[in-house]
Every structure is written in C-alpha cells, then in structure tokens.
C-alpha cells in the first residue's frame, strides 16, 4: 500500500445542500421502441434525503408514456462506452414552445467499469463531524516482547485521519479540507454536506470484488451512524487497481437513508480524541456473527431513532426498551446465563437487570434524576431499572384517570429516556469491548 494511492476525484461543496453534478449532456429517453432525443442533467440531490435525480429536456410534440414505465431507460450518449440507466419519471412539464421537461430518479445502480479485481474502493460521507487528529501510530510487541511504536498506513495529505483495521481490512476515514467551514454552516442551517472521504483496502494487498467491499461499507456505515447518533450514508463508490488507476464508478441511491445535520449524541469527543476507533474491532466481531448481526442492526436503528426527539419521549422509551430486551435475550442465551424458560420467567426489568450485571454495567443512580427520584419514593421503585420499566408500562397500559399517582409527567419521561439511553449505550460499548470507562 502507498500513501498517495489512489488519488480520487474529491467532491467539495461551498454551502450545504449544494447539488453534485454527475452528468450533463446529450441523452436519449427510451420506452419500448420509442426514442426521444434531448439533454439531461443527472445529479445528487439532498431532500428529503440524498438520492440521484435527473431532469431530461427535449423539444417536440412527442409525449412519453408515464403510465407504463417498466421498460423506461435513459441512455447517456456522451459517455464512452454509452450506458443506459433504469429510471422512473415522477413529473412532467410542457411549455407552449414545444419545450418539455421530465424529472425523475434512478431505480437501480449505474455501474461503469469492472466490479472485480479491485485493490481499493473510495466513497464520500456527509454530515460526519470535523476532526484534525489521527491515530497513525500504534503500539505492538517486537520479537523480544517489548512495546514498539508502529506507523499505520495513512492516505494522501489529509490532516485528520482515523484508521480502522479489522481482520484483513484496512479503512481510512479522512476529513476533507473544507469540512470545518462546511460544518459551521451545517450547524446553523442544517441540511447535508459532504464532509469526509473513506478508503477501504486489504492489508495483504489482495484484490476483492465490489460485492465484498459493500459488506464492509454497510458495516462501517452502521458503525459511524452509531458513533454519530444520526444515519450516515456512503456516496459515490469508486474502485481502483493497485497502481491507483480508476476501474469503477458507481452511482447508487445510498444503501442507508441519511439524516440531515443534527447535533447527534456521539459518546466521544471526535474532534480531540481517537477513541471512536477502539470499539470497531469488537463491533465487527459481533456484526459478522450470524447470531448477533440482526440484533445489532435493530439495536442501532432503535438507538438512533430514539434520539430524534420529535418522536416524543414515549416513542423513544419504547425503542430503547425494545433494544435492551433484545440484547438481553441474545447475550444471556448465547452465554448460557439462563435457559429460554428461565428468561421468559423473568419480568422485563429482571431481564435488563441481569444483562447489566453480566456486562458489569453500573445502574444509573436514581438520586441523580430529581423528578424520578421523587416518584420512586412515592411509588416504592427500588432502582432505575424499575423506574424505566414502570414508565414503559404506563405507555403501553395507561393508568386510569382517578389514579393520579401513576401519571408520569413529561419531565419524568425525559429522565426515563436519559436513563434508558445511557443503559443501552453502555451495553453496546461493552459488547464492542470498548476499553475506556463509560461511567
């Protein structure tokens, strides 16, 4: 591997939500045997979420049948070789001067080049926080058992690089040069901005396919989304040979529906710490375990969705509780802490309490949550596990109106959410073998 390879085309944006042009030129719209010539503009648009759209303009009396689009294709005639895209038309406009415009989106990936014998793949990422630090150096034991400093393989001249290695995969996440200024605009305006670029290759320099790369891309996107607290999606995958020559370009609507910029809830100071690298190996071990993959997907999905406060706290609490119970079932069963009958014999509070104890996760103290502490004294709740379970029960089985003591205020529900969030976050980090204190 070489520091300077590959040298991909880098996407830059001056302002949030600035579209990214993929193709502009002559094209043909083909439906069965009917061909209409015109010009097309293909771009990445951002709302309501990142997707690849097109606008096709032509002159004449011809009308495209938008009722039957099963065979509709867009042929990009200026590409060499020429390529056809499967597309869908969502709107059409006709002017009096015989000018027509059709708008739509891609319905399947467009791939130019080979998907085999790749030495590296590169893709961009929107809305990940800026950083200018790196974990280029690591420690390992030499033949005499002494700790020595080793330099990991970085990439080009990016100031901020987080390097993730797992099994035989080597991943470099790099901050783009304009990331800091773009982030300032995103923080004030919201929306989407391309902030980082990522390279994936193999440590032993062996070649791989695009399909194999996507297995890592999907996992890494889930991991970064967990770190960030919002959904992070890969954009515009390209592939290169061992000499840095581009072999592949792919246009695809993102495999994850990315979120607009939000503050998120990341558990490490990304701009001043490389701690987010530490749990990646543990995450990948679980991700590649068939017993755990779906559990992690669900838990991360529910964790991220719970952070969207427009759900209201009752929705967030339900999602967090579901994640804790699913992790409890899997962890306790896999490690033979309980039988199926024994697990089913426990209340939800007992299942979660046993999970936390088994993972050595400290219960959130009730006294640190003022409103819950008051209610716990009133209703004899023993600990924070009972508190969150009773709050969940109050959502699914609302108390009768005459029993005012059972009615939980919005402030209490907020504190229940905070406790549930902390419990789930700490459980996930423990599962990922995070080596630092999370109390």
pLDDT the model gives residue 255: 92
Where residue 394 falls (left for φ over 0; alpha for ψ -120 to 50; beta otherwise) is: alpha
Closest Cα to residue 156, out of 342, 343, 258, 6?
6
pTM for the complete prediction?
0.92
75 with 206, same domain?
no
232 with 246, same domain?
yes
Element (DSSP H or E) covering residue 323: helix 313-334
pLDDT the model gives residue 339: 82
CA 192, distance to chain mean position in Å, is 14
337 with 406, same domain?
yes
Q: Is the pLDDT confidence value at 293 over 90?
A: yes
Domain final position from 59, 86, 109: 109
304-321 burial, b at 16+ Cβ within 10 Å, e below that, comes to: bebbeeeeebbbbbbbbb
Mean pLDDT for the stretch of residues 204-229: 97
**Pairing mode, if any, of strands 235-240 and 120-126?**
antiparallel
334 with 226, same domain?
no
pLDDT the model gives residue 329: 93
Domain final position from 72, 91, 109: 109
Q: What is the CATH number of the domain that holds 105?
A: 2.40.30
92 with 143, same domain?
no
Residue 400 in domain: yes
118 with 103, same domain?
no
Mean pLDDT for the stretch of residues 107-128: 96
**Pairing mode, if any, of strands 169-175 and 34-45?**
unpaired
102 with 144, same domain?
no
Distance CA 366, CA 372 (A): 7
306 with 200, same domain?
no
155 with 273, same domain?
yes
Mean pLDDT for the stretch of residues 312-338: 93
Please answer whether residues 176 and 195 qualify as being in contact, where contact means their C-beta atoms are separated by less than 8 angstroms: yes
pLDDT the model gives residue 151: 67
Mean pLDDT for the stretch of residues 347-368: 92
pLDDT the model gives residue 338: 83
Q: Which domain holds residue 316?
A: 299-431
Distance CA 381, CA 374 (A): 10
Residue 215 in domain: yes
Q: Is the pLDDT confidence value at 162 over 80?
A: yes
Question: Residues of the chain with pLDDT > 90: what percent?
Answer: 69
Distance CA 80, CA 54 (A): 19
pLDDT the model gives residue 85: 92
Q: What is the mean pLDDT of the chain?
A: 90
Q: Is the pLDDT confidence value at 250 over 80?
A: yes
Q: Is the pLDDT confidence value at 138 over 80?
A: no
Residue 46 in domain: yes
pLDDT tens for 410-428 read 999 999 999 999 999 999 9
Q: Is the pLDDT confidence value at 248 over 60?
A: yes
Closest Cα to residue 279, out of 439, 127, 427?
427
Where residue 145 falls (left for φ over 0; alpha for ψ -120 to 50; beta otherwise) is: left
Domain final position from 82, 109, 136: 109
Structure tokens at 342: 């024994």
Residue 175 in domain: yes
pLDDT the model gives residue 2: 54
Give the residue with greater pLDDT, 159 vs 182.
182
Reported as a pLDDT band with limits 50, 70 and 90, residue 115 is very high
223 with 163, same domain?
yes
Distance CA 8, CA 237 (A): 10
96 with 214, same domain?
no
Residue 13 in domain: no
Residue 286 in domain: no
Residue 14 in domain: no
Distance CA 339, CA 363 (A): 24
Reported as a pLDDT band with limits 50, 70 and 90, residue 83 is confident
pLDDT the model gives residue 68: 85
125 with 271, same domain?
yes
Distance CA 131, CA 179 (A): 9
Burial class of residue 423, CB neighbours in 10 A (0-12, 13-18, 19+): buried
Domain count for the chain, please give it: 3
Give the residue with greater pLDDT, 144 vs 189.
189
Scan for tokens 């640190």, then name that residue: 368
Sheet holding 110-113, edge to edge: 110-113, 246-251, 235-240, 120-126, 194-202, 169-175, 161-166
Question: Residues of the chain with pLDDT > 70: what percent?
Answer: 92
Residue 5 in domain: no
Mean pLDDT for the stretch of residues 382-386: 92
Mean pLDDT for the stretch of residues 353-379: 93
Reported as a pLDDT band with limits 50, 70 and 90, residue 141 is low
Angle of helix 370-379 relative to helix 384-396, nearest 10 degrees, comes to 80
pLDDT the model gives residue 213: 98
For the chain, counts of helices (H) and of strands (E): 10, 15
Structure tokens at 185: 């605009």
Q: Is the pLDDT confidence value at 288 over 90?
A: yes
Report the sign of the C-alpha dihedral through residues 269, 270, 273, 277, in that order: positive
Mean pLDDT for the stretch of residues 367-393: 91
Structure tokens at 350: 């007992």
Give the residue with greater pLDDT, 196 vs 70.
196
Q: Within 13 A of 2's CA, how many CA atoms are on the CB side? A: 9
C-alpha to C-alpha distances, 52 to 85, 104, 180, 214, 274, nearest whole angstrom: 11, 9, 26, 19, 33
């Amino acid at each position: 591997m070489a520091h300077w390879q590959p040298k991909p085309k880098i996407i830059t944006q001056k302002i949030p939500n600035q579209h990214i042009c993929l193709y502009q030129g002559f094209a043909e719209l083909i439906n069965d045997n009917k061909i209409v010539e015109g010009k097309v503009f293909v771009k990445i648009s951002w709302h309501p979420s990142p997707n690849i759209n097109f606008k096709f303009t032509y002159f004449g009396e011809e009308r495209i049948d938008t009722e039957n689009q099963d065979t509709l294709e867009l042929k990009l005639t200026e590409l060499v070789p020429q390529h056809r895209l499967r597309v869908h038309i969502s709107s059409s406009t006709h002017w009096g001067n015989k000018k027509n415009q059709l708008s739509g989106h891609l319905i399947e990936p467009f791939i130019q080049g080979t998907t085999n014998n790749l030495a590296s793949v590169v893709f961009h990422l929107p809305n990940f926080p800026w950083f200018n630090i790196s974990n280029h150096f690591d420690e390992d034991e030499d033949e005499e058992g002494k700790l020595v400093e080793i330099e990991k393989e970085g990439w080009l001249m990016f100031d901020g690089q987080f390097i993730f290695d797992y099994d035989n995969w080597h991943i470099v996440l790099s901050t783009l040069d304009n990331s800091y200024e773009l982030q300032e605009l995103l923080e004030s305006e919201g929306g989407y901005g391309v902030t980082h670029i990522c390279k994936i290759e193999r440590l032993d320099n062996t070649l791989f396919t695009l399909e194999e790369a996507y297995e890592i891309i999907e996992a890494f996107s889930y991991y970064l989304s967990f770190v960030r607290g919002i959904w992070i999606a890969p954009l515009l995958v390209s592939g290169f040979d061992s000499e840095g020559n581009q072999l592949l370009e792919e246009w695809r609507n993102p495999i994850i529906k990315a979120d607009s910029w939000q503050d998120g809830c990341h558990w490490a100071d990304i701009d001043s710490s490389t701690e987010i690298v530490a749990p990646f190996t543990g995450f990948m071990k679980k991700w590649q375990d068939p017993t755990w993959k779906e559990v992690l997907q669900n838990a991360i999905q529910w964790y991220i969705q719970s952070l969207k406060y427009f759900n209201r706290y009752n929705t967030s609490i339900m999602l967090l509780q579901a994640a804790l119970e699913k992790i409890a079932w899997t962890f306790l069963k896999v490690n033979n802490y309980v039988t199926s009958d024994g697990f089913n014999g426990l209340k939800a509070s007992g299942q979660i309490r046993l999970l936390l104890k088994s993972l050595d996760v400290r219960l959130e103290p009730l006294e640190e949550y003022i409103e819950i502490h008051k209610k716990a004294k009133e209703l004899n709740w023993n600990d924070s596990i009972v508190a969150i379970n009773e709050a969940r029960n109050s959502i699914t089985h609302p108390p009768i109106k005459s029993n005012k003591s059972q009615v939980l205020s919005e402030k209490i529900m907020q504190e229940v959410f905070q406790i549930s969030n902390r419990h789930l976050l700490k459980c996930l980090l423990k599962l990922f073998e995070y080596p630092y204190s999370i109390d």
